[in-house]
Structure 1
Amino acid sequence: MEQDLWSVEFTSLADAIRSGRVTSTELTELMLARIAAFDGRLHSYIAVAPDLARAAARAADAEIAQGHWRGPLHGVPMAVKDVFYTKDIRTGFGSSIYDDFEAPYESTATARLRAAGAVMLGKLTATEGVYAGYHPSITEPVNPFGDEHWTGNSSSGSGVAVTSGLAYGTLGTDTGGSIRLPSACCGLTGIKPTWGRVSRHGVFPLAESLDHVGPMARSARDAAALLGAIAGADPDDPTAASVPVHDYLAQIDAGIAGVTIGIDRDFIAAKATPEVAASIETVIPILEQLGARFVPATFPETREILYGWHTECSVEAALAHRATFPGRRAEYGERLSALLDHGAQVTAFELAEAQRARRAFNGAVAAMFAPIDLFLVPALPVAGPTLAHMATLGPDPDGILAVGPFNAPFDICGYPTITVPCGANGAGIPIAFQLAGKPFSEALLCRAAHAWQGVTDWHRRRPEL
């Protein structure tokens, strides 16, 4: 029973929690025990708050016992990436510079999680400034499916914790793939919503025009529940969209009969290994059996806008760090320092050119989507990349863009995507595909992923710790 409790999707526990057959205290103690037993090797947490979690669990149990059940997140132990402001748990942004930082307010996303009844276990390890490298003071998380394999950046601790049963779900951020890459490497379902679908208030930025907040979970159903809790307009974030929020869970069983999915095999072949391309081909007949219709599509050329991504990201990151960089350069890690230095050197003409290319690309993406509902691509160009492989990619921007050709383009245009496990490589490391949709089509993305997971069980694989 204990294994069932730690490994299942939290939405499958909702009825048991609501009826009292399983208590929040029981689940919280289970998670805390597993953190104590396994995280010394995995390094997924940067801060654990056991007393706070126990108090929240007791409060949830008392409220539920009185008949005040708030929904599927009520009493569920979760954690969030170390980039969200929280008043009662340290927030460090993956850097020692913020060791003494005290959040002046709670982020909107975590406040909404708590309002839905979630129990906060702590903060999860992230790369420095949520870019591509770890600060020298941080121990890199370990992929529980294989120590020599990449966890994905920058929400790496989030991916490790949820797949290992050290939290039931989490929130991550995604600027160039940071929800989707660790979801793919760790066998999770991750949603990068439409830009503006989730408030960024109280979330330390990497690059504000590219940053997205979204859920990472064990299934599309769990991810839908998390997204429904945090999405929506926010008076504290003027960029948060006022578009109505769908009841993603209520629609999730509607299936995908008649849904048109585009695929660009030339794009996939040019960017991915044959092993990854073959994994995508296994997805197509199953989605067709579920009622989807596949048609050829042509994805716009990405080289110029990927380099433009690096230009815009570096400028906006330099702006975000201007209070501490370059004044405290010695306290920064090498990779983030290089990004900030580059941002400070970008000319107005170079930035304007990157923005021009971005506008043109966004228009081309919209035109491609006009006759289709969804677009299928891999989540990663390499199946289960090793740490040794990642070390060969070279300096940025080539290094970071080599791993994210199927990710960063959707941060650039702001379209929503969902990452879904679909296999494993020879070493047992998860492989995933990605579906992209039109703006604010998260309900359809959740439906499609849930339909896939109704006839496959890749999302139920758990590592042996």
Structure 2
Amino acid sequence: MADALHYLELTELAARLKARAVSALDVTRAQLDRIGTHDPELDAYVHVTAETAIADAKTADAEIAHGRYRGPLHGVPIALKDLFWTKGIPTAAGTTLHRDFRPSEDATVVRRLKDAGAVVLGKLQLTEGAYSDHHPFVTPPKNPWNADYWPGISSSGPAVATAAGLCFGSLGSDTGGSIRWPCAANGLTGLKPSWGRVSRHGMFELAASLDHAGPIGRSAADVAALLGVIAGHDPNDPTSLVDPVPDYLAEAKQDVRGLRIGVDAAWNSDDVDVATQRVLTDAVDAFRALGADIVDVQFPDVMQAIADWAPNCAVEAAVAHEATYPARKDEYGPILASVIEAGRALSALDYQKILLRRLALRGQVTALFETIDLLLIPVHPFPPVTLAMIRTLGEQPDLIAKMQRYTCTFDMTGHPTITLPGGASADGLPIAFQLVAAHLDEAMLVRAGAAFHRVTSWHCRHPALPWRR
């Protein structure tokens, strides 16, 4: 019985656990069995923490039975991107350099998940240092919809595991698109919060001012449940914000009547493929039918921000890796090493100019949200991306810029976004779109995402395993 639950939304499973219609122990054991069956082909997990997961599931069942219910994550099996410190468990951040690192404490977000009663199944694979490519000695996770297609970066493992029913939700990170690309590629819902909404304490850095920790799930309600636990100020991270955390699950029950959704028709169609444009059009029609007002807007030019993202990230990555690079240069893969080298070579003057341009763009985007509540845009302008296409990116800088157009912009400004499945390609692969909100208005994203899910079923589609060869 428990095995048949693997594609339930996290919030649906939570209701059954609370009602004691199913036990956390049975669900956890079924998840571990499913991981054992499918992950040898999918390669989503780095470490499976079966022993502690079983123990935590037993504790959750006992607490729920005695009326000590901790909330919507209590007894729910989830998993973590392997850049969040997990006490006593190897945490390598996709590197070989840190493969023996066992943190002496949990990252703040991990501690909060555990305090909420979540059952942690293990650690999930990612690209090296959360940049753009897996270390040469690491086997990349495979897209469960079709192994010939890109699973997304850098939260490749979290998205693959969640899409394949190997966990009920996961925690990822986003520096240039690393929650949104994998969610789009795997048919999932992902939320990149505002910068500062979620603590980064105990999280391996790629680029400190661009890094965001956020949830990956199957629905807007799922990411609402996860975000509600991990969000909030943390004294161990002075950059985390003190603003109160809304009841995101309550927001997921609200309608969108009267909300102003901005659409820049020119930006959304400039070299955007037909299938993606159809997804955007269908999303606009759905929100209009739900009572939202569609507003024509003109988004600021982002070409400079896209050009600035790579050197900005490179400088901050060089700082993050200063203790081990160049001292242990030979242990780095070529892509991450080249990024760090570029960061070490950039002048302070050029870096300061980037920071000033970022502030200006942030101000322009903030001003736009005085006139709208949400912005509707693609995740990237392509249909689902093949691995063959990804292998050519190093030779096609224009293609990289197109891929980053709708993602890294909002890491540069720090505004929150939600990725929602909105359609499928001719081959049946997922296509997604994004909603962007004002700073710290993740509640608006959850509200709109949940409303969209109530009238569509794209988020209910799941890959058939074993995946197609």
* Cα distance, 1:88 vs structure 2: 3.1
Query: Which residue does 1:208 correspond to in 2?
Result: 208
- Quick check: 1:393–1:402 contact (8 Å CA) kept in 2? no
Query: Which residue does 2:225 correspond to in 1?
Result: 225
Q: For 2:89, give the aligned amino acid.
A: I
* Cα distance, 1:421 vs structure 2: 0.2
> What SS is found at the alignment partner of 1:281?
helix
Aligned counterparts of 2:31 and 2:89: Cα–Cα separation in 1: 17
Query: Which residue does 2:7 correspond to in 1?
Result: 7
Query: How many residues were matched structurally?
Result: 465
Q: For 2:409, give the aligned amino acid.
A: P
* Cα distance, 1:428 vs structure 2: 1.5
Query: Which residue does 2:57 correspond to in 1?
Result: 57
Query: Which residue does 2:43 correspond to in 1?
Result: 43
- Quick check: 2:380–2:402 contact (8 Å CA) kept in 1? no
Aligned counterparts of 2:12 and 2:38: Cα–Cα separation in 1: 24
- Quick check: 2:273–2:381 contact (8 Å CA) kept in 1? yes
> What SS is found at the alignment partner of 2:214?
strand
- Quick check: 2:306–2:404 contact (8 Å CA) kept in 1? no
- Give structure 1 regions of 4+ aligned residues with deviation exceeding 3 angstroms: 1-4, 395-402
1:334-345 alignment to 2 at 5 Å? 334-345=334-345
Query: Which residue does 1:410 correspond to in 2?
Result: 410
- Quick check: 1:193–1:415 contact (8 Å CA) kept in 2? yes
* Cα distance, 1:251 vs structure 2: 2.1
Q: For 1:456, give the aligned amino acid.
A: T
Query: Which residue does 2:286 correspond to in 1?
Result: 286
The TM-score, its normalising length taken from structure 2, stands at 0.97
Aligned counterparts of 1:436 and 1:281: Cα–Cα separation in 2: 17
> What SS is found at the alignment partner of 1:225?
helix
- Quick check: 1:271–1:405 contact (8 Å CA) kept in 2? no
* Cα distance, 1:392 vs structure 2: 2.1
Aligned counterparts of 1:396 and 1:439: Cα–Cα separation in 2: 33
Aligned counterparts of 2:73 and 2:360: Cα–Cα separation in 1: 41
> What SS is found at the alignment partner of 2:393?
coil
Q: For 2:100, give the aligned amino acid.
A: D
Q: For 2:329, give the aligned amino acid.
A: R
- Quick check: 1:314–1:340 contact (8 Å CA) kept in 2? yes
* Cα distance, 1:18 vs structure 2: 1.6
User: Could you say if the C-alpha distance between residues 377 and 9 of structure 1 is closer, same or farther in structure 2, counting changes exceeding 3 Å?
Assistant: same
* Cα distance, 1:335 vs structure 2: 0.7
The TM-score, its normalising length taken from structure 1, stands at 0.98
- Quick check: 2:198–2:214 contact (8 Å CA) kept in 1? yes
- Quick check: 2:375–2:435 contact (8 Å CA) kept in 1? yes
Aligned counterparts of 1:81 and 1:363: Cα–Cα separation in 2: 32
- Quick check: 2:155–2:173 contact (8 Å CA) kept in 1? yes
Aligned counterparts of 1:368 and 1:245: Cα–Cα separation in 2: 23
* Cα distance, 1:420 vs structure 2: 0.3
Query: Which residue does 2:270 correspond to in 1?
Result: 270
Q: For 1:83, give the aligned amino acid.
A: L
* Cα distance, 1:14 vs structure 2: 2.1
Aligned counterparts of 1:456 and 1:97: Cα–Cα separation in 2: 44
Query: Which residue does 2:444 correspond to in 1?
Result: 444
> What SS is found at the alignment partner of 1:355?
helix
Query: Which residue does 1:170 correspond to in 2?
Result: 170
* Cα distance, 1:451 vs structure 2: 0.4
Query: Which residue does 1:17 correspond to in 2?
Result: 17
- Quick check: 1:220–1:450 contact (8 Å CA) kept in 2? yes
Aligned counterparts of 1:26 and 1:309: Cα–Cα separation in 2: 45
Query: Which residue does 1:457 correspond to in 2?
Result: 457
* Cα distance, 1:400 vs structure 2: 4.1
1:376-455 alignment to 2 at 5 Å? 376-394=376-394, 400-455=400-455
Query: Which residue does 1:350 correspond to in 2?
Result: 350
- Quick check: 1:381–1:404 contact (8 Å CA) kept in 2? no
- Quick check: 2:2–2:27 contact (8 Å CA) kept in 1? no
Query: Which residue does 1:374 correspond to in 2?
Result: 374
Query: Which residue does 2:199 correspond to in 1?
Result: 199
Structure 1, unaligned stretches of length 5 or more?
none
- Quick check: 1:269–1:277 contact (8 Å CA) kept in 2? yes
Aligned counterparts of 2:149 and 2:206: Cα–Cα separation in 1: 25
Q: Cα deviation per residue 1:220-272 (whole Å; 9 max; x = unaligned)?
A: 01110000011000000000000000001112111100000101111122252
User: Could you say if the C-alpha distance between residues 384 and 208 of structure 1 is closer, same or farther in structure 2, counting changes exceeding 3 Å?
Assistant: same
Q: Cα deviation per residue 1:348-400 (whole Å; 9 max; x = unaligned)?
A: 12101111211111111122221100000011221211111112222586564
* Cα distance, 1:406 vs structure 2: 0.5
* Cα distance, 1:100 vs structure 2: 1.4
* Cα distance, 1:3 vs structure 2: 5.5
> What SS is found at the alignment partner of 2:253?
helix
Aligned counterparts of 1:27 and 1:296: Cα–Cα separation in 2: 47
Query: Which residue does 2:297 correspond to in 1?
Result: 297
Identity of paired residues, percent?
46
Q: Cα deviation per residue 1:150-184 (whole Å; 9 max; x = unaligned)?
A: 01100000000001000000110000010111011
Query: Which residue does 1:241 correspond to in 2?
Result: 241
- Quick check: 2:2–2:22 contact (8 Å CA) kept in 1? no
